[in-house]
Amino acid sequence: MVKYFCSSTDIKSTWDHVVSAFWQRYPNPFSTHVLTEDVVYREVTTDHRLLSRRLLMKTNRLPRWAERFFPSGMSRYVYILEDSILDPVNRSLTTYTWNLNHTTLMSVEERCVFLDSAEQPSTTQLKREAWISSSIFGFSKPIQEFGLARFKSNQVKAMKGLEYALSNLQGEAPQRLLRDSVRPPSEKAKEAAKTLASAAATPQKSQQYV
């Protein structure tokens, strides 16, 4: 069982500006959990596409119940690989990201496609998809619900970070180029948090998951 998320957003800025902001979005005040970013590989293909692979290191504060699945000696850092394909001919940028460690606890795969809008001038269409899974026996469903809720929260921050980078490129004060889409947690997310918190209160021999 995998949790699936999909959203579409119209960014009120040209595709060229959005792509430039994408490469310069870190650091920004909305993504302080992103600690490092390094280019691992980069190539321009014969058909003029730019292929890139970057390694990012992130950290997220864990809720109390997660300590049950995260022993004290285990790294709290998450390593993320980001593959991207920049196609200047078709004016598209496609990114794929996934976590390299802690995949038994939770695996998050994301795909984003930035397209130059043919219908609306100076607008970039963004489609974001994510697949969230967990292999913790007996708790995979509530962990996936929690992961989905956190992903939704983080993608709002990611959009704000992109907005911030766009504002810097355009020499403007940060403004609301993107409509906020923060929503309160769903009843499923609340119930999942209660289930996990209850499970965390039950003594159990520590296990290490990577």
Q: What is the pLDDT of residues 103-153, one digit of tens each?
A: 988 999 999 999 999 999 999 999 999 999 999 888 899 999 999 999 999
Question: Are 94 and 84 within 8 A, CB to CB?
Answer: yes
pLDDT at residue 170, as a whole number: 82
pLDDT at residue 82, as a whole number: 98
| Chain center to CA of 24 | 16
Angle at 146 between CA 140 and CA 151, to 5 degrees: 120
Domain limits, the chain: 2-171
Q: What is the pLDDT of residues 71-92, one digit of tens each?
A: 666 677 899 999 999 999 999 9
Q: Determine how many CB atoms are found less than 10 A away from the CB of residue 139.
A: 20
Question: Are 97 and 110 within 8 A, CB to CB?
Answer: yes
Give the integer Cα–Cα distance in Å for 154 and 143: 16
pLDDT at residue 137, as a whole number: 87
User: Integer distance in angstroms from the first to the last C-alpha of the chain?
Assistant: 20
Give the integer Cα–Cα distance in Å for 72 and 79: 18
Question: What is the CATH topology of the domain spanning 2-171?
Answer: Alpha-D-Glucose-1,6-Bisphosphate; Chain A, domain 4 (3.30.530)
Structure token pair of residue 136: 């913790």
Give the confidence band of 65 by pLDDT, cuts at 50, 70, 90. Answer: confident
